């Protein structure tokens, strides 16, 4: 029997108004659910975002099972979906936070992830404000027989992260992001999303902030690197049906995961 999971990427611009963020997330989950989505992916920093970063990040950080996640759990229950979204998690000190992602269904958190690679590039210093995630076994979750893995934004530039998720059995990688605009950044975004799909023969679904801060172009890419759904530069939802049989067919024709001679080993 063919397994196809309808998945939506929801693009919006989180702000420093946490209540307004949740209201918009509610609207977008409702829209995605009405279109048949079983999984809805939101951007990085969906709970709270301010540019430039300042001390308010730590003041607005929460525990993984805090109010933001409980609100997502309520939405997951109401609309019968799994919600994936980025949030500010409290860290080990009073100054920095963790850049976290949770996957939540009606039962609560089914997977959590802390961003491994911080955005200390292109003139930015995310590590001044954010504590990196610890290296460990990838957390994945399943919906209707399809296995999903998580990464965040700048992690896209490190193919090892995607390869570890493929090794953990993922059929799709979900990427909450705030991909900052700049020279050639739209090109990097699209190229890296397609590359991670092609090299791991799986789906990649990424949700970004729209302009003026993000590049927008939230999208879903299939295991052959074909873009099958996308949002432009506004606040919107794009949906595609992720076909488990398609992953298996591509991997039969192109068994690159099986043929490789190297494996990923943590550096630290």
Where in the sequence numbering do the catalytic residues fall? 44, 115, 153
Angle at 38 between CA 33 and CA 41, to 5 degrees: 85
Going by C-alpha positions, the residue among 66, 67, 6, 4 that lies closest to residue 31 is 6
Count of Cβ atoms closer than 10 Å to residue 51 Cβ? 13
| Backbone angles phi and psi of 151, in degrees to 5 | -145, 175
Beta partners for residue 102, in sequence order:
85, 112
Strands 172-176 and 146-150: parallel
Cβ–Cβ under 8 Å, residues 9 and 220: yes
Cα–Cα distance, 116 to 133 (Å, whole number): 5
């Amino acid at each position: 029997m063919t397994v196809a999971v309808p998945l939506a990427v929801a693009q919006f611009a989180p702000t420093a108004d946490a209540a307004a963020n949740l209201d918009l997330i509610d609207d977008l989950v409702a829209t995605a659910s009405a279109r048949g989505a079983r999984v809805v992916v939101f951007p990085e920093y969906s709970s709270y975002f301010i540019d430039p970063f300042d001390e308010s990040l730590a003041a607005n950080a929460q525990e993984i099972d805090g109010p933001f996640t409980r609100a997502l759990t309520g939405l997951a229950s109401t609309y019968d979906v799994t919600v994936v979204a980025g949030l500010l998690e409290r860290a080990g000190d009073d100054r920095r936070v963790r850049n976290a992602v949770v996957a939540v269904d009606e039962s609560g958190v089914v997977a959590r992830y802390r961003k491994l690679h911080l955005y200390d590039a292109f003139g930015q210093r995310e590590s001044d404000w954010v504590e990196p995630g610890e290296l460990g076994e990838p957390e994945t979750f399943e919906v209707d027989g399809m296995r999903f893995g998580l990464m965040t934004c700048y992690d896209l530039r490190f193919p090892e992260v995607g390869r570890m998720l493929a090794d953990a059995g993922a059929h799709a990688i979900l990427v909450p992001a705030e991909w900052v605009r700049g020279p050639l950044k739209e090109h990097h975004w699209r190229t890296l999303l397609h590359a991670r799909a092609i090299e791991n023969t799986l789906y990649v679904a990424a949700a970004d902030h729209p302009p003026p801060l993000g590049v927008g172009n939230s999208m879903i890419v299939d295991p052959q690197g074909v873009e099958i759904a996308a949002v432009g530069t506004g606040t919107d939802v794009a949906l595609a049906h992720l076909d488990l049989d398609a992953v298996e067919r591509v991997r039969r024709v192109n068994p690159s995961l099986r043929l490789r001679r190297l494996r990923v080993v943590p550096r630290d």
